[in-house]
Amino acid sequence: MENNIALQFVNISKSFGSKIANKNVSLDLRKGEILAILGENGSGKTTLMNAAIGIYYPDEGQIFVNGEEASIHSPKDAYNYHIGMIHQHFKLVDVFTAKENVILGLSKEDYKKQEEATKAKQDLKLQKIREEEGREPTKEELKKYNKRIKDSKSYNLEEAKRKIIKICKKYGFEVDPDKKVYEMSVSEKQTLEIIKALYKGVDILILDEPTAVLTPQETKKLFNVLRNMASQGKSIIIITHKLNEVLEISDRVSVLRKGEYAGTVVTKDTNEKELTELMVGRKIELNIKRPAVKNPHDRLFIEGLTYTNREGVKALDDVSFVARGGEILGIAGIACNGQRELLEGIAGLVHLDSGDIVFHNPKKNRPVTFFHHNVKQIRELAEKGALYDDDTKETLNLKGVSTKKIKEMVQKEKIMFYEDEIIDLRNKKPIEIRNLGIKLSFVPEDRLGMGLVGNMNIIDNMMLRSFRKGHSIFLNRKKPKYLAEEIVDELEVVTPNLKTPVRNLSGGNIQKLLVGREISSSPKVLMVAYPVRGLDIKSSYTIYDLLNEQKERGTAVVFVGEDLDVLLALSDRILVLSGGKVAGIVDARKTTKEEIGLLMTKSIEKQEVSYNVSQEDEEE
């Protein structure tokens, strides 16, 4: 039995600082099988595999290759043990041809090995001629023999091309060795990565989310190739979180949950429900407050948002929902299923293909305030006939009325709106949205990349949102300084002083600053993406409290999270995204973790199939 195991992990533990990525994980891969490793985001799948190919070195535990303990410190070591990995982000040089990419990094020893292998093969050929045909090889054959050996012992693109074509034929790949990588489709690039691994003699192939970037047809093709490889004795690990694919391709499934090993099952004896349970585990009771929703009102209407990203993949596909004021709308989904694009689309950072984003401001019969409008804007509104005088109940005409008079009227709350304010935000730039007087705050996923400037100090970072308000050519740091002091005090940000570059603070403190700044403008819509990622428990709870506070103020909070337990405990409703589509919107108070887990992993094809089945059921 022992001989049958190609790769074995024994009690692997790995932590990054205080964050534990893997804890006592043990699993094994048999020869010639396809093993799926299933788990939510952050469950430690990729970290574990990176240990096998030498990108990380585990803190504890051993890795056995073919029954012998292996010490793998670099990708090169891994290749010596015949282990190769296809990363999510391809390691290819764009301007090189396929063959150049394949032979990149071959050392002198590699060429020596290649020469020996070729020599053995060619010797065999000559021997065959001598024995079977009973004649001496001809001059041409000898010439060819010598040429092959000469080609194989050093850098030679012809030889590389020949070998690539051979590999393609053996496993059924379709790749042109002379094609440049930048001309290739994603699927071709992935195939090239696999060929690269096979060229270097890999027996154990690890694929990290290989289908994430592929179309269904390409996925089918990939699976055929993988099955082909497995049947020829290669062992394959495929990391994924798509249940239907796991069931389709794998022989066995190992499940990781929050860095720990949750169990292994044989694929044909299991079903989606069992896998989901293994993956998400039982519900954990969290002590997060969830105040009742008080007078909710529709705030943001999202209708049919569609966005195609640069790779030509539909990142958002017909997404529709309503965000209500005074409510937290949780957004669940496996990472990169459209969450980022959705928030950025609403914030005006990406250009959407189609769809509507309508901001709804309940203004009917309410007075105009200087909080949202200045005199110029009030004049414009009056010109459109949107305002009336509270005393006369007649449409207001501000032509020829002095600014002083208008100010006086506003202060006495005499100027009223006829209708609710409805503003189309689609494809408006952030600055345009702000100029419309809409308080839309966005706490992006990438704090230092999009939210704050790492090299600037706390005060200057506070100014990023407000520097346009200044009236003189010099910066006025007074107000931002007060704001910074306030945030540091109230949110207990640990910092030496306000002049510290934000970069030097810890993740939790950076996040507190960012959230603090965004809510300081008392937003009507607050969108937060993974606000507690990398934060300790105490900071996380501070953030949850802040979100609840905003909710009670009547803000429409959109919360993208990755921890289902938190989403369930904090949100009022949960929208589940899967493959850029809305898989469902559920009431967080009534739903279960399993239900959300199933919605999350439900791929589009699956959805259609189950729909057809239920229709048939009804007919019967």
Instruction: By CB under 8 A, name the binding residues for another protein.
Output: 55, 74-76, 79, 91-96, 100, 103-107, 154-155, 180, 182
Q: How far is the CB of 143 from another protein (least distance, A)?
A: 23
Q: How far is the CB of 76 from another protein (least distance, A)?
A: 4
* Residue 168 · residue 145 · CB < 8 Å: no
Q: How far is the CB of 41 from another protein (least distance, A)?
A: 19
Q: How far is the CB of 96 from another protein (least distance, A)?
A: 7
Of 55 and 585, nearer to another protein (C-beta) is: 55
The greatest distance separating any two alpha carbons of the chain, rounded to the nearest whole angstrom, comes to: 116
Cα gap 252→266, rounded to integer Å: 4
Q: How far is the CB of 48 from another protein (least distance, A)?
A: 17
Strand positions, DSSP E, 475-550: 525-529
* Residue 501 · residue 458 · CB < 8 Å: no
Q: How far is the CB of 16 from another protein (least distance, A)?
A: 11
Q: How far is the CB of 101 from another protein (least distance, A)?
A: 8
Angle between helices 139-152 and 157-171 (to 10 degrees): 90
Of 72 and 319, nearer to another protein (C-beta) is: 72
Q: How far is the CB of 194 from another protein (least distance, A)?
A: 15
Cα gap 209→595, rounded to integer Å: 23
Q: How far is the CB of 191 from another protein (least distance, A)?
A: 17
Quick one: the chain helix, strand, coil %, rounded to 5? 40, 25, 35
SS3 state at 396? coil
Cα gap 487→510, rounded to integer Å: 11
Of 55 and 375, nearer to another protein (C-beta) is: 55
Q: How far is the CB of 590 from another protein (least distance, A)?
A: 43
Cα gap 285→568, rounded to integer Å: 10
Of 157 and 604, nearer to another protein (C-beta) is: 157
Cα gap 514→390, rounded to integer Å: 40
SS3 state at 103? helix
Of 183 and 380, nearer to another protein (C-beta) is: 183
Of 70 and 567, nearer to another protein (C-beta) is: 70
Q: How far is the CB of 73 from another protein (least distance, A)?
A: 12
Ramachandran sector of residue 400 (left: φ over 0; alpha: ψ -120 to 50; beta: rest): left
Cα gap 485→481, rounded to integer Å: 6
Q: How far is the CB of 107 from another protein (least distance, A)?
A: 7
End-to-end CA distance of the chain: 49
Of 447 and 524, nearer to another protein (C-beta) is: 447
Q: Give the tokens for residue 397.
A: 């005409």
The secondary structure element, H or E, covering residue 329 is: strand 327-332
- What is the CA 92 to chain-centroid distance, rounded? 21
Cα gap 535→612, rounded to integer Å: 44
* Residue 333 · residue 577 · CB < 8 Å: yes
Which DSSP category does 469 fall into?
Answer: G
Of 71 and 592, nearer to another protein (C-beta) is: 71
Cα gap 351→309, rounded to integer Å: 9
Of 33 and 193, nearer to another protein (C-beta) is: 193
Cα gap 62→342, rounded to integer Å: 42
Of 85 and 498, nearer to another protein (C-beta) is: 85
Of 154 and 612, nearer to another protein (C-beta) is: 154
Number of Cβ within 10 Å of residue 498's Cβ equals: 18
For residue 563, what are the contacts with CB-CB under 8 A and spacing of at least 6? 532
Of 76 and 499, nearer to another protein (C-beta) is: 76
